[in-house]
Structure 1
């Protein structure tokens, strides 16, 4: 009888261990499918308001304003501090040069947005220039790629 009781206790202990492991693994499985990191992404996505053409145009206009200091312009770009030298070069090149922007079609994907932008300069208009933006620090900013597009036009290309 003692062996039967002992076997029964061991069986119950094994069953409890397996059940606990199953619950733990199920919990891990649900984390992978949508809890921690996915919910963070969904929350960040939900927190990004739809970018308006006016807001994106304002970022572009401020970025190309030759009177605005490079340090101020760097704040308009995601990780813009790494482009300060390029922005200084652009400011020098734009000192007597007027550039305008008209933002057209905008496609948002969470905290990122792509827009077709017409760039107007004394040499004419370039229509449908693809420009990338990112929602960061509570505002829509130029992505690094978007900034590099403008910097390249201003002969201050990113490397």
Structure 2
């Protein structure tokens, strides 16, 4: 249960980060950026639960090298050392995922994930993905949740 609490705390903490800028110049600038982002996001195909689950299965596969797994995560190159640490921990440890309730909006997707390990199942863990370079990638926050469960926690 401590792992579940820690994973949820990490997710909640990362989701709460952000700021609002009331500067009118920033508003004008972000309006044009927003229009560009919306156009790019509209081109993202809605992911299936199976597609998203495949990214998680590959991420937790201890036979895949960390450099390959890093390509599954948004800005994953900054997490290679932690992924290597996770790989060592997963060498003799089976983890499976079941993705459900996929909600996609533009280039972002959220879903509930049941994570099953020898210690039991953590149901309805919220995770997110982003459509980058023509593929759905695990968000950094979701990757950090998984890494945290594997005792390879991301640093803020």
Establish whether TM, by shorter chain, passes 0.5. Answer: yes
Give the aligned length. 128
* Superposition TM-score, scaled by structure 2 size: 0.77
Q: Which of 52, 55, 59 is equivalent to 2:51?
A: 55
Q: Which has the higher contact order (CA 8 A, sep 6+)?
A: 2
* Superposition TM-score, scaled by structure 1 size: 0.76
What is the alpha-carbon root mean square deviation over aligned residues? 1.7
Runs of 4+ in structure 1 over 2 Å off: 35-39
Question: How far apart are the structure 2 equivalents of 1:121 and 1:85?
Answer: 23
Of structures 1 and 2, the larger Rg is shown by 1
Equivalent position of 1:131 in the other structure: 127
Does 2:136 match 1:154?
A: no
Q: Looking at secondary structure, tell me which structure has more helix per residue.
A: 1
The correspondence of residues 108-147 of structure 1 with structure 2, limited to 5 A, is 108-147=104-143
Q: Structure 1 stretches of 5 or more lacking a match? A: 1-31
Q: Structure 2 stretches of 5 or more lacking a match? A: 1-27
Does 2:45 match 1:46?
A: no
SS of the aligned residue for 1:62 comes to helix
Equivalent position of 2:68 in the other structure: 72
Question: How far apart are the structure 2 equivalents of 1:94 and 1:55?
Answer: 22
Question: How far apart are the structure 1 equivalents of 2:67 and 2:123?
Answer: 29
Q: Which of 77, 86, 106 is equivalent to 1:81?
A: 77
